[in-house]
Amino acid sequence: MGYKVVVVGATGNVGKEMLNILAEREFPVDEIAALASRKSLGTEVSFGDRTLKTQDLEQFDFTGWDIALFAIGSDATKVYAPKAASQGCVVIDNSSLYRYDPEIPLIVPEVNADDIVRYKNKNIIANPNCSTAQMVVALKPLHDRAKIKRVVVATYQSVSGTGKEAIDELWEQTKGIYVPGQEVAPKVYPKQIAFNVIPHIDVFLDSGETKEEWKMVAETKKIVDPSIKVTATCVRVPVFVGHSEAINIEFEDFLDWEEATEILREAPGVMVVDKREAGGYITPIECVGEYATYVSRIRQDSTIENGLNIWCVSDNLRKGAALNAVQIAEVLGQRCLKKG
């Protein structure tokens, strides 16, 4: 006996990946529904070797459905997630709406799967920000060994994190640079993204940091340990898919880079590729379509007493969003719902 699963926002980049990953991982689905806004009603999406027609989110009755994977913006989620939850369907939400609610668990299964039992508070589970998800997968096993005091992270985030319009803007701007008269002015981003980097993701806060940077701080504390100090600089780069992060970690106790490498090799969800030679590391283009969070460039930081530097890369549409949501659904099924 399997689950009745709903994918909300099935025509978007993350919604499509959710459907792909549910099929790839052979999640025990008895029945599946693909929901979208009315303007996308009837659009066809793929689920394994099947084709689904999208149904109208506004009219959908969640009664009798087990799990709903939400991949829509916070405004729409605010309307429909409580509706689904009140009708007995457990919501796994990819938006930022519920991540900071103390009653709602924020889950990365490799890190804090035990927190999932708290879904009963509101019948909702939050999926973290894409840049946070991959970082905490790498941090948690190291924290368990030497306790992390402080993290300094600079991100290199792909345009797919913004959505299809951003992917199109990068593509069109790149072509336009080579064709006189076909230059494309920035619309999605405040400055040209092709052949450029933009140190600005989400809105600016009074503190001077952006909301994306604030998210990484707040979510790392909620998922891993509230005592960890985190400072982030989040940057958009001209890459289609795959987020990268340069992470500097300060520990309470000394941790040798070789031991850290062995810990990460054994850590769930992590793949170490670190040959210390030309090409002996992972770049975003190589992580596309993969489940793993890749770690390279593991080395001692000699400027502080107990420091390491690592390079972390992952497919943001997968581990940063859709894969993590499906993994949450798997843990929810195994530990709580127990149908599949």
Residue 158 assigned as binding residue: no
Record the pTM. 0.95
pLDDT digits (tens, 9 = 90+) for 176-198: 999 989 999 999 999 999 999 99
- The mean pLDDT value for 274-283 works out to 98
Residue 157 assigned as binding residue: yes
> Cα separation of 135 and 142, whole Å?
11
Does 340 score more than 80 pLDDT? no
For residues 61 and 86, the answer to whether their CB atoms sit within 8 Å is no
Which amino acid does the sequence have at 271? M
Residue 140 assigned as binding residue: no
Does 40 score more than 90 pLDDT? no
Does 282 score more than 70 pLDDT? yes
Locate 71 and state its tokens. Answer: 């991949």
pLDDT digits (tens, 9 = 90+) for 95-115: 999 999 999 999 999 999 999
Residue 46 assigned as binding residue: no
Residue 13 assigned as binding residue: yes
pLDDT of 19: 98
Residue 73 assigned as binding residue: no
Could you give the residue numbers annotated as active site? 130, 243
Q: How confident is the model at residue 250 (pLDDT cuts 50, 70, 90)?
A: very high
Residue 11 assigned as binding residue: yes
Neighbour-count burial for 73-88, b at 16+ CB within 10 Å, e otherwise: eeebbeebbeebbeee
Lowest mean pLDDT among 164-168, 179-183, 317-321: 179-183
pLDDT digits (tens, 9 = 90+) for 55-106: 999 999 999 999 999 999 999 999 999 999 999 999 999 999 999 999 999 9
Contacts of 31 (CB under 8 A, 6+ apart): 4, 5
Residue 160 assigned as binding residue: yes
Contacts of 234 (CB under 8 A, 6+ apart): 131, 154, 155, 157, 199, 200, 201, 202, 210, 212, 213, 216
How far is CA 206 from its chain centroid? 26
Query: Nearest to residue 71, comparing CAs of 6, 158, 147, 154?
Result: 6
Does 39 score more than 90 pLDDT? no
Residue 279 assigned as binding residue: no
Residue 203 assigned as binding residue: no
> Cα separation of 178 and 261, whole Å?
43
Strand partners, 3: 29
Locate 89 and state its tokens. Answer: 């369907």
pLDDT digits (tens, 9 = 90+) for 189-243: 999 999 999 999 999 999 999 999 999 999 999 999 999 999 999 999 999 999 9
pLDDT, the chain, mean: 97
pLDDT of 114: 97
pLDDT of 41: 85
Work out the number of other CB atoms within 10 angstroms of the CB of residue 258.
Answer: 10
pLDDT of 320: 94
